[in-house]
Amino acid sequence: MGQASRRFSFASVSLGAFAAGPAFLVALGLCALIDRPDRPVALFRDPDIVPLLMAMTLAFSVVGAIIAFPLATLGTMVLTELGRDNDGLRLPVFWTLSGAFAAGLPLYFIADDRPELVAAFAFAGAVAASISRWRVRWGD
Number of domains in the chain: 1
- Give a yes or no: residue 88 inside a domain: yes
Look at residue 10 in the predicted model and tell me its pLDDT.
Answer: 83
CB-CB contact of 69 with 14 (8 Å): yes
- Give a yes or no: residue 138 inside a domain: no
CB-CB contact of 81 with 39 (8 Å): no
Question: Is the pLDDT confidence value at 2 over 70?
Answer: no
| pLDDT grade for 134, boundaries at 50, 70 and 90 | confident
- Give a yes or no: residue 26 inside a domain: yes
CB-CB contact of 8 with 77 (8 Å): yes
- Give a yes or no: residue 139 inside a domain: no
Look at residue 4 in the predicted model and tell me its pLDDT.
Answer: 41
- Give a yes or no: residue 3 inside a domain: no
Q: How far apart are the C-alpha atoms of 118 and 127, rounded to whole Å?
A: 14
| pLDDT grade for 34, boundaries at 50, 70 and 90 | confident
Look at residue 5 in the predicted model and tell me its pLDDT.
Answer: 44
- Give a yes or no: residue 74 inside a domain: yes
| Domain coverage including residue 68 | 10-37+48-132
- Give a yes or no: residue 29 inside a domain: yes
Q: How far apart are the C-alpha atoms of 120 and 127, rounded to whole Å?
A: 11
| pLDDT grade for 6, boundaries at 50, 70 and 90 | low
Look at residue 43 in the predicted model and tell me its pLDDT.
Answer: 66
Range with lowest mean pLDDT among 5-9, 109-113, 127-131: 5-9
- Give a yes or no: residue 118 inside a domain: yes
